[in-house]
Structure 1
Amino acid sequence: MAGFLGAAATALTLFTAPQPAFAQVTAFKQAVAEAAARDEDIAAYYRAHGYAPIWTEATETQRARRAALMSAIRAADLHGLPVARYDPQGLMEKLKNAQTPRDRGLAEVEMTRVFLQYARDLQTGVLVPSRIDPSIVREVPYRDRQTYITDFISSDPTPFLRNLRPRTMEYNALMREKLRMEHLLTQGGWGPAVPASSLKPGAQGTQVVALRNRLMSMGYLKRSNVMTYDATLQEAVRSFQKDHGLNEDGVAGSGTMAEINKSVETRLQSVIVAMERERWLNKERGARHVLVNIPAFTASVVDNGQVTFETRSVVGANQSDRLTPEFSDVMEYIVINPTWTVPRSIVTKEYLPSMQRNPNAAGHIDLIDNRGRIISRGSVNFSRYTARTFPYGMRQKPGRTNALGLVKFIFPNKYNIYLHDTPSKSLFDRDVRAFSHGCVRLADPFDFAYTLLAPQAADPVAYFKRQLATGRETFVHLDTEVPVHIIYRTAFTTPRGHTQYRADIYGRDGRIWDALSKAGVALGAVQG
């Protein structure tokens, strides 16, 4: 690197000698203006700064900038970025071959273009989320591109580039897991898949040996010669199930076996996708915030980077109109004993057809007009209406059978998504908990409420229960609003740095990986 940059700097000094200084400057500036015209932000920056070079002078400062950028883009794969997009070899050749002021001007702009591409990719992601999946409605914290340049030239270049990445413990842990997975690839991964659709405790034979060997390779089992599915193997399976969000029964059923047989390449793809997703959320998340991970079926309260409360959740079903979207917002209040105003889509798609067959269907839910008055079902000829023309709404009174349960948590958003209780408690015992219309149901909503109310109530449990006992719909505003981040991570790490994996229930990560792959991201392997 140093040799090349020195040679390039020398070349840039030598080729200017035969020409008058004014002609050199004019030719350089014309080339910069011409090349920059293809990018509005680059053109605006150079125009505002008199087309002065950032990279291509033979000064120590600009030499350091070149070295920092070349080093960063060559190592872009460490972050799961597409190295070919930055073409470090081509950029180096362009600099080495710059023999005229015009060549130098063209190289100057190319350096800036690559710098801006790399900076944005590293800080806020290679992809635009909504272009990959319309349910990823996250607002990525994009930065004004010109500020990258102005901040860079006033900073130490190497730390500036290094600090663009997410500065979270999660991102660092994912980077370590990526390196570990790449090293595993050089070692042949976890060995052969287990040639069985399922195995139970007490089983014997070659399939059990294959399961034993696979779990040993994964680090769930110490070296052993056992050929029987014994208590030790059962405990190893249980540990694996815990790390993959499965029912911890110690039985290698079909779902568990499918996860055990996932390849290192598949897991590595999940890690790289998780790193990209972490870049999309590269902003302050709040000293206290709520984190909902859709494929993990969990909702957590996080205080100063530590999970202080976590509960199981049910998320939207895998149907186009029921998927839980990914976005961030701010929780403003809690509703105790909520009324359920049935969304129009549910009224017309689900309840109207039922009431056309039987006017008393869903009789526990009131029919209301546009002024909120209760309408007698006997006065309505449901068969005369379509989903478009049906003039009524539906509303369910507070109570234990209310679809929202006894409490809901509101962060106003245009997607009409919120967290809430539910009377359907049995669904929380399932491995895969994708059953709702899009909102997030909580297994322990009361404890969730106590945690959120603790900063503003001396006895949050007693306070909550007093409001609940009234049976009336009560709005409790949070003294300090709490950011809510609904994310989708099939690979994530524990506080100890261990990585857990979940199934890609909506197929979103698969689509993201396909897009990353098309952009030039490749599965690497670390030698040694």
Structure 2
Amino acid sequence: MNSQGGARAAIFRVVAVCAMAVVLHLVSIAPASAQVTAFKQAIAEAAAKDKDLAAFYKANKFKPIWVGRTGKDRSRREAFIKAVRAAPMHGLPAPKYAIDDLVARMKSVKGAEARAQLEVDISTTFLEYATDMQTGAVDPRRIDPVFMVRQVPYRSRVSYLTNLVKSSPRGFFKALAPRSEEYARLMKAKLTYEKALARGGWGPKVPAKSLKPGASGAPVVALRNRLVAMGYMKRSSSASYDGALAAGVQQFQLAHGLTPDGVAGAGTMIEINTGMDKRLQSIIVAMERERWMNIPEGRGKRHVLVNIPDFTAKIMDNGKVTFETITVVGKNDPDRETPEFSDVMEFMVINPSWYVPRSIATKEYLPLLRRNSGAVRHLEITDSRGRVVNRGAVNFAQYNERNFPFNMRQPPSRRNALGLVKFMFPNKHNIYLHDTPAKNLFDRERRDFSHGCVRLGKPFDFAYALLARQESNPEAYFQSVLNTGSETRVNLKQDVPVHIIYRTAYTTPKGQMQFRRDVYNRDRKIFAALSRAGVSLRAVQG
């Protein structure tokens, strides 16, 4: 064989060797490639029933984020398991997430389809947990669609998955819970109460309907022991209702929104005998409510906070109370309760007219007019064009709630139902803050008397505080407008968010718990909904 033929043979041998190598390589990788394709197809099929999951996995090219073998996948799994196991600390429904079942499947899963299904099941549970932690486990509008109308700031479900992939897993899960100081203090109080519950709580209830200073005997000892256990007074061996016990009762009353007279009357005794489990329920509900208000942009550096069962309105500046006044809120009646929502205050009206809501005009005033057309003389009756109607020319007996064609208005005066100023944050509920001529109602301990709007104990001072941002002498300015006697709109140069909330449990800046009566029974409904979701009370050893 010549040299040219030898060279060609050598080339053929090299080509053959290379071809064989390619074949062997293809043979070796074909099963793995097929497995990858089958796995991704299985993920696509498992996620198809949930449009958000389907969208995420399609964008992620159907790659796993949980059941893969990378360090990042492992870190996500570990952070997820740790976070979900801590769900009871936050008052969340741990059984709903079935984390033990998921962990068992993680350890034993085999096959592409089973792994894909597990991947999607973990993502489904992750979305439930993340949503519950950040914005609440129950929807307030499903509990009470009429009055619990707060718009919960739900996030996009896809964004949870997308942000998780981009973030440090530990940091992501840590950032889900509300970052407010109030939430942190409530969570700390919850653990304190759970530990105390494991030790037996506050001990026996006081065997008396009421007790007064000067009393003595076993019921007084029981009262003293219970207040000591609650932390409202120091331990003493006295069996009489002395000054120290009266001071302890007074401290309890202050922390529960009761008249601080130091007398354990019937109302105070009911609150003293309320069990620790009930107070713990209130704390858990308060944490849930805090999640409902976990607004990404915050509540506003300056905002107004109205707590319905606390009967207070506060101006908050950078997290500090800079003004506070007592309030009267809606009556505990299906037609009069004050709703929970947030809006933005835009202006105030000085010397306001009261335009009577139709429900009040037809249900309360029309029956009086049907009996006597001269009734409710303090109100003008106007037609659809705003013209005052001659009462004597109208047969009111022909009208009912459905066909009453008139409007009713009370002109500005010191006797006006709105008093001399109202604060407007236009909303579909027709709720606002205002003055009132019925000052005597502010002397009551429980102040649910209005038709739904919030009456302020110090409306002028409230106005001064709002105007201080735009007037060099807010009081003088306000009084000058007031003295005109004319209805005048005063715009706020900077809108102020208003949050009408319902908290029967909240904390002071130093962390002491405050409790209030559930005047509308809303907390009871919320805890019942949380219980149905899987939340339960627990006693923690330690």
What TM-score results when the alignment is normalised by the length of structure 1? 0.96
Shift of 1:99: 1.4
Shift of 1:26: 2.3
The residue type equivalent to 1:437 in the other structure is H
Per the alignment, residue 373 of structure 1 pairs with 387
Per the alignment, residue 365 of structure 2 pairs with 351
Per the alignment, residue 7 of structure 1 pairs with none
Gaps of 5+ in 2: 1-27
The residue type equivalent to 1:111 in the other structure is I
The secondary structure found in structure 2 opposite 1:308 is: strand
The secondary structure found in structure 1 opposite 2:469 is: helix
- Alignment partner of 1:175 is 2:190: no
The secondary structure found in structure 1 opposite 2:124 is: helix
- Alignment partner of 1:476 is 2:487: no
- Alignment partner of 1:157 is 2:169: yes
Distance 2:390 2:460 in 1: 35
- Alignment partner of 1:148 is 2:142: no
- Alignment partner of 1:385 is 2:399: yes
| Aligned match for 1:265, one of 260, 264, 277 | 277
Per the alignment, residue 243 of structure 1 pairs with 255
Q: Cα deviations across residues 129-159 of structure 1 (Å, max 9, x unaligned)?
A: 1001121100010111101111111110111
The secondary structure found in structure 2 opposite 1:456 is: coil
Per the alignment, residue 215 of structure 1 pairs with 227
1:98-113 paired onto structure 2 within 5 Å: 98-113=109-124
Distance 1:38 1:247 in 2: 57
Per the alignment, residue 4 of structure 2 pairs with none
Q: Cα deviations across residues 151-202 of structure 1 (Å, max 9, x unaligned)?
A: 1111101111111111000000000010011011111000001111111111
Per the alignment, residue 10 of structure 2 pairs with none
1:54-93 paired onto structure 2 within 5 Å: 54-93=65-104
Per the alignment, residue 376 of structure 2 pairs with 362
Gaps of 5+ in 1: 1-16
- Alignment partner of 1:233 is 2:245: yes
Per the alignment, residue 470 of structure 2 pairs with 456
- Alignment partner of 1:276 is 2:278: no
Shift of 1:31: 2.0
The residue type equivalent to 1:156 in the other structure is S
Shift of 1:38: 2.1
The residue type equivalent to 1:277 in the other structure is R
Runs of 4+ in 1 over 3 A off after TM superposition: none
Per the alignment, residue 295 of structure 1 pairs with 309
Shift of 1:43: 1.0
RMSD over equivalenced CA pairs, Å = 1.1
The secondary structure found in structure 1 opposite 2:328 is: strand
Shift of 1:19: 8.4
Which of these two proteins has the greater Rg computed from alpha carbons? 2
| Aligned match for 2:529, one of 502, 512, 515 | 515
Per the alignment, residue 136 of structure 1 pairs with 148
Shift of 1:18: 11
Distance 2:375 2:264 in 1: 43
The secondary structure found in structure 1 opposite 2:349 is: strand
Per the alignment, residue 431 of structure 1 pairs with 445
Distance 1:189 1:24 in 2: 58
Paired residue total: 512
Distance 2:406 2:358 in 1: 9
The residue type equivalent to 1:62 in the other structure is D
The secondary structure found in structure 2 opposite 1:398 is: coil
With 80-89 and 402-411 compared, the bigger mean Cα shift is at 80-89
Per the alignment, residue 457 of structure 2 pairs with 443
Distance 1:19 1:270 in 2: 60
Q: Cα deviations across residues 428-471 of structure 1 (Å, max 9, x unaligned)?
A: 11111111110000000001111111110001111111111111
Distance 1:423 1:226 in 2: 47
* Residue identity (%): 59
What TM-score results when the alignment is normalised by the length of structure 2? 0.93
Per the alignment, residue 107 of structure 2 pairs with 96
Distance 1:133 1:226 in 2: 48
